[in-house]
Chain A
């Protein structure tokens, strides 16, 4: 019993200031979630166009950049509103600090959005000549430069890789939060992009050939499985770091984020995986859309938990 009376095992904080609350909250979760969709659809489009004829996915050429454009604008909007001094965002471009992955990411994401915008103008300009109105100069520009689509797209796919993963590097640079380890976060971001991208494209895949939709379903199944496996690996095997282990107590039984975490994993990973695997043969479009919706909701919940829990730990 002597061990219970010594200083080393009995230390209690008796006076301190309140711990800072959540610094990065759900706004940042939306940011990451929307970016996953925006870059994920580009990866998926590259894969599908590599595997299938363009006629198998007739709406992909204009719908993919449209989805990416909307998602990336949501991502950038939420980045902006999270800043405590939003008008000073321009400082990232006028006073860039290149050791910061926030800076590098902001530049790359801006370039990525610019290129996606061109693809969207080409895609929509070709498909809907009268949209948004007859004689619109932007869509006319798209129609007149349709050959750019094929030239820009390969570059866009390569650019999508760092745009997807730079948030993981920001998290790695957040050296106060040991749960966010660079190698795992980079892979988590990649799987999240494939998962969100495939889930988003499911909603426009109704007119696609069965084979193309089966490939899309396969990617959804694979990405939910490996993403789930990575979360489970971190959940069970992060005990080598005392800090990460302490953080994970927030999602253990009785922890404040236990329900959100497991609800997210069940809704977003386990159920969609089984639906997607089952759907490989049956090709039930309604069920597949349900799985895609669940995957997007679950991914948001799990990302939200993973973002918040390391911030609850006292650092000093």
Chain B
């Protein structure tokens, strides 16, 4: 069995239902995302359109994150899912440096790396991933790539010439596919991030990776004195930094 994912971008309407379902199902903390839907505006007025691209871990067959993990916290399950064991993770962030898709984050509550696991816990119980269930237009298609009769295999065969993966040049062999995508939607260098032209201005860099409220010394003291209770305000502050992306030299 080799589980895979396919998103038909022609169907996706950017409702972010999948994003919310993922957040709730996996209790993903504020300021971090396992799955996000990115809006990209194409063309110039009046000939414009908006595209929506859900982005999550690609569960690569040749996963750089699995290879670089020094303690096998990132590992393959028998069904092809690249899973993560947060109890073993040492928080070196090597996986975050290795993933070409920026799909891994440092959980600010556990101070360990985390990412989409295709809802491995749900699959184990015979359920579909939360994002698949939440999608109102069935743009998320999930199933066994080894089974020629699974929905995903049939979909891939039906859209043979139009199935794409992100950054194929990285030789990661993703098991996450897109139909209806283009260079502008799948290649992060093909679109611009301009301040002042977004639904939300100030698309900033996050100031902190991991637990922003506890410094280096706290990491050592935490097992003995514990952590202070965190509230939402502290995370919101980190996401509303004053320094804009353009000031940081982004493009």
User: Are A100 and B68 neighbours in the complex by a CB distance under 8 Å?
Assistant: yes
Interface size on A, residues (CB 8 A): 61
Cα(A97)–Cα(B204), bound, Å: 35
For B210, what are the chain A residues with a Cβ–Cβ distance below 8 Å? 84
For B47, what are the chain A residues with a Cβ–Cβ distance below 8 Å? 5
Cβ-based interface call for B144 (8 A):
no
Cα(A242)–Cα(B44), bound, Å: 24
Cβ-based interface call for B189 (8 A):
yes
Cα(A18)–Cα(B195), bound, Å: 12
Tell me which residues from 143 to 174 in chain B have a Cβ below 8 Å from any Cβ of chain A.
166, 170, 172
Cα(A95)–Cα(B69), bound, Å: 11
A interface, by DSSP: helix, strand, loop or mixed? loop
User: Are A8 and B183 neighbours in the complex by a CB distance under 8 Å?
Assistant: yes
Residue in B98, B208, B220 whose Cβ sees the most chain A Cβ within 10 Å: B98
A-B interface pairs (CB < 8 A), number: 217
For A255, what are the chain B residues with a Cβ–Cβ distance below 8 Å? 249
Q: What's the least CB distance linking B47 to chain A, in Å?
A: 6
Contact of A100 among B39, B94, B105, B219 (CB under 8 A): B94
Tell me which residues from 165 to 216 in chain B have a Cβ below 8 Å from any Cβ of chain A.
166, 170, 172, 182-185, 188-194, 197-200, 203-211, 216
User: Are A4 and B216 neighbours in the complex by a CB distance under 8 Å?
Assistant: no
Question: B216: nearest residue on chain A (CB-CB)?
Answer: A81
Cβ-based interface call for B124 (8 A):
no
Contact of B99 among A13, A15, A315 (CB under 8 A): A315
Cα(A313)–Cα(B189), bound, Å: 9
User: Are A312 and B42 neighbours in the complex by a CB distance under 8 Å?
Assistant: no
Given contacts A15-B198, A99-B67, contact A4 B102 (CB under 8 A): no
User: Are B203 and A20 neighbours in the complex by a CB distance under 8 Å?
Assistant: no
User: Are B105 and A20 neighbours in the complex by a CB distance under 8 Å?
Assistant: yes
Cα(A316)–Cα(B103), bound, Å: 8
Cβ-based interface call for A215 (8 A):
no
Cα(A313)–Cα(B99), bound, Å: 13
For B88, what are the chain A residues with a Cβ–Cβ distance below 8 Å? 88, 91, 95
Cβ-based interface call for A137 (8 A):
no
Which residues of B come within 8 Å of A, CB atoms?
31, 33, 36, 38-44, 47, 49-50, 55, 64, 67-72, 88-94, 96-103, 105-106, 111-112, 166, 170, 172, 182-185, 188-194, 197-200, 203-211, 216, 219-220, 223, 239, 245, 248-251
CB pairs A–B below 8 angstroms (15 shown):
A11-B192, A12-B194, A18-B206, A19-B245, A83-B90, A88-B91, A95-B71, A97-B71, A102-B68, A175-B100, A175-B172, A316-B55, A316-B102, A316-B103, A316-B188
